[in-house]
Chain A
Amino acid sequence: MNSFEPKIIGFLCNWCSYAGADLAGVSRFQYSPNIRVIRVMCSTRISPNLVLEVFKSGADGVIVGGCHIGDCHYMTGNYYTDKRMKLTKELVELAGIEPERLALEWISASEGEKFARVVTEFVDRIRHLGPIPTKNDQKLMKRLEAAAEASKLFRLRLLSGKELRLTGKGNVYGEMIEAEKMDEILDSAVNDEYDRSLILELTKNNALSVKELASEIGKSAEATLGHVATLRARNLLSICSIDGFTPRYKAIRLGGA
């Protein structure tokens, strides 16, 4: 059990957390060797999809590091990071991965010690959680795939991209949308789109009925039928056979013969 060595990916922003990591090195603060750092100019670059891709590739945890709120080199980049990571966490959780495996940390260029501590604690946490059985767990892979697909959707990216403006500066009508209301909107959009992506994932190779899909995605048959209706309207799903009185669906393969 203790032979498990977590594989951690760290996305660090160039100006703060990456510099903090450098400082940890300069200061020779020791920390676990499990992290592989990918430098980005700003943490805002980290789209939910990147994080999900990391999990799909077999990582056990992801740390996203950015400047403290207010310190962003690009003024407001990390506000977006904050919102995006919230959405990402939801998707990670929906995919069946413990949300604690994704950490968002604000680490300044002068916080070398904090960086070392964060990494060590995070590695411990992951060690405790154990490995993600992505390689062997088909079901989990499908769920991750679905979350990754959902994260690429224009709808979710738009909503999370606009969240700050809508709740902070106001919408096109000059009104402010309450944070709670916005959360509710995003939440339901994330949940719906994840379920829909999962339905498409599940029906890629198998023809499934609404009832079967419902039990796979853990939702009521009625709600599942609603998603099926939407996917059919988007031309992504079609009835491939009707067994007696049960229609079965398959995802439409796009891109032609």
Chain B
Amino acid sequence: MATTTIGSVMVVGGGISGVQTALDLADSGFKVYLVEKRASIGGTMAQLDKTFPTNDCSMCIMAPKLVAAGRHHNIELITNTDLEEIDGVPGDFRVTLKQKTFRVDKSKCTGCGVCAEKCPVETSDEYNEGMRKRKAIFVMYPQAVPLVYCIDRKACIGCGVCAEECRAKAVVYDKPDEALEIRVGAIILSPGFDEFDARIKKEYGYGVYRNVVTSIEFERMLSATGPYFGVVMRPSDGEIPKKVAFIQCVGSRDEKVGNPYCSSVCCMYAIKEAIIAGEHTKGLEPHIFFMDVRAVGKEFEDYRERAEKEYGVKMHRGTRVASVEEDPVTKNLFVRYGGNDQIETEEFDLVVLSVGMRPAADAEKLSRRLDFKLNKYGFCETDIYDPLCTSRSGIFVSGSFASPKDIPTTVAEASGAAAKAGSLLSDARNTLVTVKEYPVEIDVSGQEPRVGVFVCHCGINIGGVVKVPSVVEYARTLSGVVYAEENLYTCSADTQERIKETIKKHNLNRVVVASCTPRTHEPLFQNTIRESGLNPYLFEMANIRDQCSWIHMHEEEKATKKSKDLVRMAVAKARLLEPLKKSQLPVNHSALVIGGGLSGMIAALDVASQGFDVHIVERTSRLGGNLAKLHHKEGSREPKVFMDELIDIIRGYPNITVHLDTNITDVTGFVGNFKVKITDGEVEVGAIIVATGAVGYEPTEYLYGQDDRVMTSLELEEKLSRREFKGKTVVMIQCVGSRNEKVPYCSRICCSTAMMNAIELKKQHPTSEVYVFHRDIRTYGFREDLYREAGQLGVNFIRIPEASMPQLESSEGRLKIIARDVVLNEDLVIWPDTVVLSVGVRPNKDNEELAKMLKVPLSKDRYFLEAHMKLRPVDFATEGIFLAGMAHWPKFVDEAIAQASGAAARAVTIISKDTLDTEGIIAAVNEDICDGCGICEPVCEYKAIQIVKISDSQEKLKAIVNEGLCKGCGACVAGCPSGAMEQKGYKTSQVIAMIDTALERGDS
């Protein structure tokens, strides 16, 4: 361990994983260097069209995080950069980086894009998988962060036009590569994965037949920003395909290509792509060819079901595609596949190969340079009990660099990795972060509005269409405007200084910028005016680029007139703007963890080790939860051994208080300041983590409880661990209490548990007969190894139909199983001596009760429901409350641990702060008008409104807004029947002023 601890962290890889880690660390008092090898952050997720199972637009949900990372005061983005070497010890590493030159000065480039427009060289666009061209000077995608153009030296012919055209003088052709040396306390690796190269599977014709595409290419084809603008077309001729085949497991579950593991995500993304393609094209017929459909995540099974029933996706279960042949004339494709025992051929217009995940191409180089181990498949090696740690201390890992996984699992891990680094460096928290100092705010109350208007040319983006000088001239005539000027780039660093000087010189008390979109640039200008002493809410923007010059490129007159209208509207609102205050709420630096199982203990430990007090409330008399029921050794040690170690550590931790035999009885307060009543008193905490777990299904079917020879998988595991099991002919029935009409979801873990049982059984009794009756085997990720091993040990797998489970009878003292074998297409009869029921997982019965107390929602399957299934997997919509473990969804030990660490990191982003800023734009009640009717109360999604008595002595009611909870959406304002509710910054009078000025005749 280092003598000095460095309070900064390097995150390697700027995909969704790295971005989440960076945000969590920077929000908990650490300086972050986010290193990305490409020119922009965003990773694979930025290429996706939609995401399962909510069909959210990927870029829409991701972009705010990218922007947040790009703007964060304590995150430094270092893109186009490779890690060269490291030196040092945990807590104090010295990292050498090599930043490849952009040949563009980042401090000057405004991202206006004129250079790319003028560049005469076209080259293949990687972001669109080569299906479209981009220029030699480029940004990866329109929403790229950082929005800095970069010269592709391989394609550039050095003609010099970009430098000539760049008004900001940002192009510097001879800018050299730079070597950087940075000291950090910890390193987190999240460089992601590579797609399997489908050319290797020659039999599918990828790279030869134009209408065979990969799933990621198809993703771009679906995207509105893709090469075909969201109309799916055949690359060979631009026709819209009618019949589309998705071939699963291309480069997954395939020993021949060296990837025996399952890539975990392809089943779901193929279903998603099939659904979305069907939404794009009426009458589309998607077919999916797969062995097992691995819909194991939250609401995945539901999604699969809808794909088949509502969207008509044809599922070819249990098939493997032998080959694809092209008709040379029509370019249609013949898919030859083996289903049951015969080979069939079907013709398609387009074939999509669901390519699997490979280790990142530079994984090996990275492992050598950083001296950590890779596993046998080339992914980063981790232990099941330490899923976020590499083999080298002080270097952590998250996301698909360690194993193939989906986005929510990745995001949870990303937060988890932040917790690991936070624990290592907790002594150095807040040592390297800077807090911005601002001058005292100028009091503008009572002053007449003095509005300054800054109109941007944006190089030629605006100025090439809109007559900017005439807009400026016009602005000067508007009431309240005392100053107006034009800028080549209003956003450039020198203009910021100019704006500040101008505010002082002309005594401005409102500022309007007419330029691009407030969605990206408002925070910049708000910061600028705050630096000159104005309240940041005395600012308004007119979007005359994205919503004017860019869309009326050939209508100068009309665009100019519209710009004037937009400026007039902005000024009208600006005149009425008022300073808004963000109040600061004190934060209690401790957390409550509800549940003392695996997730609860890990979460508690990861909060406590970062220096904060933790209470664990456990309703039983012992810690450990479901972990105590597991026996199979996975990774470094037996679950029991691990559990006992963990309990010892928890017991020895001075700042963890364990409350056994204790229940939660009431929760009040809000983020930073919760008051929680428990059986024996009350605790006050800043954040709450729900880790209440789940329970196993108690079967009523298959003679369970009536015949001793019928047992659950956990009971078998127990017997095997004691070496008490003696069965010779064993039948395992999968999905008992899962994937049926009553409980439609898949319990995720039962298949792998059955494999572990079967393997152990075969090892203990090599001569025993084991039959597994299943519909799919869902051993996703590296757990596919278990399936393969069981097969090699001679376990018999019998695929049964979707809708008919095996029948069990007890006949003359013997057990008799009758089941349909779909492969042989005949009924099978087995006389087992033991029947093992692979029972599913069920949510806790009292989840409702706890959810009500916490004011958080449950999913339709009655598990706790996170704020967003994709990108906020451990948060609740209610701020300050987090989620981990099986309370969220059934999961394995390693997944629960990662998620618990994630919840801990998220909680620490709150409790590590001394105060929390409330939002500026919030609802406010005019108490003179409010009659306490209460209509607003249920309208509020954030539970920020309460109806209370005006005073203790008066019966009259009124609404009050909790500023700590209000997010400023305005729902209550629109709902208020009396007009008592107002939204600060969007007051009715302000909005009306804009409407009135919009509709008056412009005098242009």
Tell whether A pairs with B.
Answer: yes
Smallest CB separation, B127 vs chain A (Å):
12
Smallest CB separation, A32 vs chain B (Å):
40
- Which one of A166, A214, A254 lies within 8 Å of B157 (CB-CB)? A166
A–B pairs, 15, beta carbons within 8 Å = A154-B120, A159-B120, A171-B160, A172-B160, A173-B158, A209-B239, A221-B237, A221-B238, A225-B237, A226-B133, A230-B122, A245-B240, A247-B233, A247-B238, A256-B558
Smallest CB separation, B348 vs chain A (Å):
13
Q: Which residues of B contact A7 (CB under 8 A)?
A: none
- B237 with A214: CB separation less than 8 A: yes
Closest to A254 in B: B554
A8 interface residue per 8 A CB criterion: no
Closest to B238 in A: A210
A125 interface residue per 8 A CB criterion: no
Q: Which residues of B contact A171 (CB under 8 A)?
A: 157-160
- A173 with B242: CB separation less than 8 A: no
- A209 with B238: CB separation less than 8 A: yes
- A229 with B118: CB separation less than 8 A: no
CA distance A152 to B229 in the complex (A): 27
CA distance A85 to B465 in the complex (A): 33
Q: Which residues of B contact A230 (CB under 8 A)?
A: 122, 132-133
Extra contacts, 11 of them, besides A221-B238, A229-B132, A242-B231 (Cβ < 8 A), are A158-B159, A172-B159, A189-B120, A222-B235, A229-B133, A230-B133, A232-B229, A245-B240, A245-B241, A245-B281, A246-B239
Smallest CB separation, A90 vs chain B (Å):
16
- A172 with B173: CB separation less than 8 A: yes
Smallest CB separation, B785 vs chain A (Å):
41
Q: State whether A158 and B161 are in contact (beta carbons under 8 Å apart), knowing that A229-B227, A255-B554, A256-B555 are contacts in the complex.
A: yes
Smallest CB separation, A145 vs chain B (Å):
19
CA distance A222 to B173 in the complex (A): 36
Q: Which residues of B contact A159 (CB under 8 A)?
A: 120, 159
CA distance A173 to B101 in the complex (A): 13
Closest to B172 in A: A172
CA distance A158 to B121 in the complex (A): 10
Q: Which residues of B contact A254 (CB under 8 A)?
A: 553-554
- B159 with A162: CB separation less than 8 A: yes
- A166 with B158: CB separation less than 8 A: yes
Q: B-side binding surface: helix, strand, loop or mixed?
A: loop
Q: Which residues of A contact B210 (CB under 8 A)?
A: 222
Please indicate which of the listed interface residues B120, B131, B228, B558 has the most CB atoms of chain A within 10 Å of its own CB.
B120
- B236 with A222: CB separation less than 8 A: yes
Q: Which of B608-658 contact A (CB under 8 A)?
A: none
Closest to A156 in B: B120
Closest to B131 in A: A229
Q: Which residues of B contact A103 (CB under 8 A)?
A: none
Q: Which of B223-261 contact A (CB under 8 A)?
A: 227-229, 231, 233, 235-242
Q: Which of A118-177 contact B (CB under 8 A)?
A: 154-156, 158-159, 162, 165-166, 170-173, 175, 177
Q: Which residues of B contact A97 (CB under 8 A)?
A: none
A44 interface residue per 8 A CB criterion: no
- A239 with B158: CB separation less than 8 A: no
Contact with B along A220-257 (1 / 0, CB 8 A): 01101110111011000001001001110000001110
- Which one of B121, B132, B159, B240 lies within 8 Å of A247 (CB-CB)? B240
Q: State whether A173 and B173 are in contact (beta carbons under 8 Å apart), knowing that A210-B239, A221-B237 are contacts in the complex.
A: yes
Closest to B228 in A: A229
B928 interface residue per 8 A CB criterion: no
Q: State whether A222 and B555 are in contact (beta carbons under 8 Å apart), knowing that A173-B158, A189-B120, A245-B281 are contacts in the complex.
A: no
Smallest CB separation, B197 vs chain A (Å):
21
- B158 with A175: CB separation less than 8 A: yes
Q: Which residues of A contact B160 (CB under 8 A)?
A: 162, 171-172
- A255 with B157: CB separation less than 8 A: no
CA distance A211 to B238 in the complex (A): 7
Please indicate which of the listed interface residues A171, A182, A214, A229 has the most CB atoms of chain B within 10 Å of its own CB.
A229
- Which one of B229, B238, B281, B555 lies within 8 Å of A224 (CB-CB)? B238
- Which one of B158, B281, B558 lies within 8 Å of A177 (CB-CB)? B158
Q: State whether A177 and B157 are in contact (beta carbons under 8 Å apart), knowing that A172-B163, A225-B233 are contacts in the complex.
A: yes
Q: A-side binding surface: helix, strand, loop or mixed?
A: helix
CA distance A256 to B552 in the complex (A): 8
B174 interface residue per 8 A CB criterion: yes
Smallest CB separation, B347 vs chain A (Å):
15
Q: Which residues of B contact A226 (CB under 8 A)?
A: 132-133
Q: Which residues of B contact A233 (CB under 8 A)?
A: 132
Smallest CB separation, A151 vs chain B (Å):
14
CA distance A221 to B235 in the complex (A): 8
Smallest CB separation, A132 vs chain B (Å):
30
A38 interface residue per 8 A CB criterion: no
CA distance A221 to B160 in the complex (A): 34
Contact with B along A176-204 (1 / 0, CB 8 A): 01000010010001001000000000000
CA distance A46 to B160 in the complex (A): 24
CA distance A155 to B157 in the complex (A): 13
Contact with A along B539-570 (1 / 0, CB 8 A): 00000000000001111001000000000000
Smallest CB separation, B173 vs chain A (Å):
4
CA distance A171 to B233 in the complex (A): 40
Closest to A162 in B: B159
Smallest CB separation, A154 vs chain B (Å):
7
Smallest CB separation, A88 vs chain B (Å):
17
Q: Which residues of A contact B553 (CB under 8 A)?
A: 254
CA distance A167 to B807 in the complex (A): 81
Smallest CB separation, A251 vs chain B (Å):
13
Q: Which residues of B contact A211 (CB under 8 A)?
A: 237-239
- B157 with A185: CB separation less than 8 A: yes
CA distance A119 to B411 in the complex (A): 76
Closest to B118 in A: A154
CA distance A93 to B638 in the complex (A): 78
Contact with A along B442-455 (1 / 0, CB 8 A): 00000000000000
Please indicate which of the listed interface residues B132, B158, B160, B163 has the most CB atoms of chain A within 10 Å of its own CB.
B158
Q: Which residues of A contact B131 (CB under 8 A)?
A: 229
CA distance A131 to B458 in the complex (A): 51
- A228 with B120: CB separation less than 8 A: no
Smallest CB separation, B137 vs chain A (Å):
12
- B231 with A246: CB separation less than 8 A: no
CA distance A170 to B174 in the complex (A): 14
Q: Which residues of B contact A210 (CB under 8 A)?
A: 233, 237-239
CA distance A192 to B123 in the complex (A): 12
CA distance A21 to B242 in the complex (A): 66
Closest to A211 in B: B237
Q: Which residues of A contact B174 (CB under 8 A)?
A: 172-173
CA distance A247 to B157 in the complex (A): 36
Q: Which residues of A contact B121 (CB under 8 A)?
A: 185
CA distance A214 to B471 in the complex (A): 46
- Which one of A166, A192, A256 lies within 8 Å of B159 (CB-CB)? A166
Closest to B237 in A: A221
Q: Which residues of B contact A209 (CB under 8 A)?
A: 238-239
Smallest CB separation, B136 vs chain A (Å):
11
Smallest CB separation, B175 vs chain A (Å):
11
CA distance A214 to B331 in the complex (A): 15
Smallest CB separation, B238 vs chain A (Å):
3
CA distance A177 to B161 in the complex (A): 16
User: What 6 pairs across the A-B complex have the smallest Cβ distances?
Assistant: A171-B158, A210-B238, A221-B237, A245-B240, A172-B173, A225-B238
- B161 with A162: CB separation less than 8 A: yes
Smallest CB separation, B461 vs chain A (Å):
14
CA distance A242 to B241 in the complex (A): 12
CA distance A182 to B241 in the complex (A): 39
Closest to B133 in A: A230
Closest to A224 in B: B238
Contact with A along B161-182 (1 / 0, CB 8 A): 1010000000001100000000
- B242 with A245: CB separation less than 8 A: yes
- B118 with A158: CB separation less than 8 A: yes
CA distance A228 to B229 in the complex (A): 11
Closest to A233 in B: B132
Q: Which residues of B contact A224 (CB under 8 A)?
A: 238
CA distance A156 to B120 in the complex (A): 7
